[in-house]
Amino acid sequence: MIFRQLFDTTSSTYSYLIASRSGGEALIIDPVLERVDRYIQLLDELDLKLVKAIDTHLHADHITGLGALRDRMHFITVMGERSGVDVVSMRVEDGDHIDIEGLSLGVIYTPGHTDDSYSFNMPDRVFTGDTLLIRGTGRTDFQNGDPRAQYESLFGRLLRLPDETLVYPAHDYKGDTVSTIGEERAFNPRLQVKSVDEYVDLMESLNLPDPKMMDVAVPANMQIGMAQETVARSGWALSAAETMSVIGQPDTVLIDLREKSEREKHGVIPDSVHLPYSDLQKNLLPDGLLHQLAGATAKRLVFYCAFGERSAMAVQAAQNAGLKVACHIQGGVQAWKLADGPMTQQ
């Protein structure tokens, strides 16, 4: 496995780059906007293809690199279902998995620092965001924070992981880089409480100043969705209602870009073909499936995904590859369901 812990000195944020092999797919957890050039350089140096990036929660102390990286590298942005951010490509909830080639991260909902805080685990390590820090825990006094919920996330979820599990937090202010669950249970002063009420009292007595960047970072981090209007202005977008009027016509084929797990969980638009976004580049090659579909039958190719972001990126890539018949459903399955579009279960 390739594993890099990257540090932003301004906000004391750790970002993590993970891949199963050189030359393969990679993901980044909690990228920082100001470090985007560095990540891209490192990906290039390590010969990695960034396919997913995840934020553990909506950050208040730095601007996320999720949107800027996505606009340059066209990968899938991921956040939790509970996140208030406008658009990400894929949303996950407790018990889901985030998969890339050779690696799978489990999703653990760990609210408390914020109500959209998630942790992500692998067999030997856990990325705890700001829920569990090294010898500390994330503050719970803003962004719908809740010390009671955090106590449950810590004692009911994270501390139940095996003692030897490595703990990689989203921040450190003292120079530590990694810990373990057993070490934190024994030595983290916030975890030495005897009851939830004692933990609540402890957290409510902290009286911390607001983060310096909060007024800038929170609004910026709420608005990271790709501007789908650009695609619409080019005439490459259909509303859900417009799509319903062409669905089933012989010159139209719907293409689902989501992953198998999303199709199983949220259903499928009837009569659509499954070509996941991770295979897009391969399918756009001159002899690829999309050219065959468009060329042989002169079909209109209507891409769709969960929220319209992957499909908007796919339309632009397809148009660049000469597929003038490509368009997408703006807003994706979310918009389709709001318009009472039919779905079938997988």
Residues at the interface with Fe ion (CB under 5 A): 130
Shortest approach of Fe ion to residue 60 CB, angstroms? 6
Task: For the beta carbon of residue 74, count every other beta carbon within 10 angstroms.
Answer: 18
Which is closer to Fe ion, CB of 64 or CB of 272? 64
Residue 334, exposed/middle/buried by CB under 10 A (0-12, 13-18, 19+)?
A: middle
Which is closer to Fe ion, CB of 218 or CB of 254? 218
Q: 113 and 99 in contact (C-beta within 8 Å)?
A: no
Which is closer to Fe ion, CB of 115 or CB of 130? 130
Among the listed residues 45, 60, 240, the one whose alpha carbon sits nearest the alpha carbon of residue 139 = 60
| Residues 259, 263, 267: CA angle, nearest 5 degrees | 160
Which is closer to Fe ion, CB of 60 or CB of 318? 60
The tokens for 153 are 């996330």
Task: For the beta carbon of residue 104, count every other beta carbon within 10 angstroms.
Answer: 12
Phi/psi for 77 (5° steps) reads -85, 140
Which is closer to Fe ion, CB of 96 or CB of 130? 130
Shortest approach of Fe ion to residue 223 CB, angstroms? 18
Shortest approach of Fe ion to residue 194 CB, angstroms? 27
Which is closer to Fe ion, CB of 116 or CB of 130? 130
Shortest approach of Fe ion to residue 117 CB, angstroms? 8
Which is closer to Fe ion, CB of 130 or CB of 256? 130
Shortest approach of Fe ion to residue 8 CB, angstroms? 13
Q: What is the DSSP letter of 82?
A: T
* CA pair distance 292, 298, nearest whole angstrom: 9
CA–chain centroid gap for 10, Å, is 23
- Minimal CB distance residue for Fe ion: 130
* CA pair distance 345, 107, nearest whole angstrom: 23
Shortest approach of Fe ion to residue 239 CB, angstroms? 36
Q: 133 and 89 in contact (C-beta within 8 Å)?
A: no
Task: For the beta carbon of residue 285, count every other beta carbon within 10 angstroms.
Answer: 11
Shortest approach of Fe ion to residue 114 CB, angstroms? 6
The tokens for 77 are 């942005």
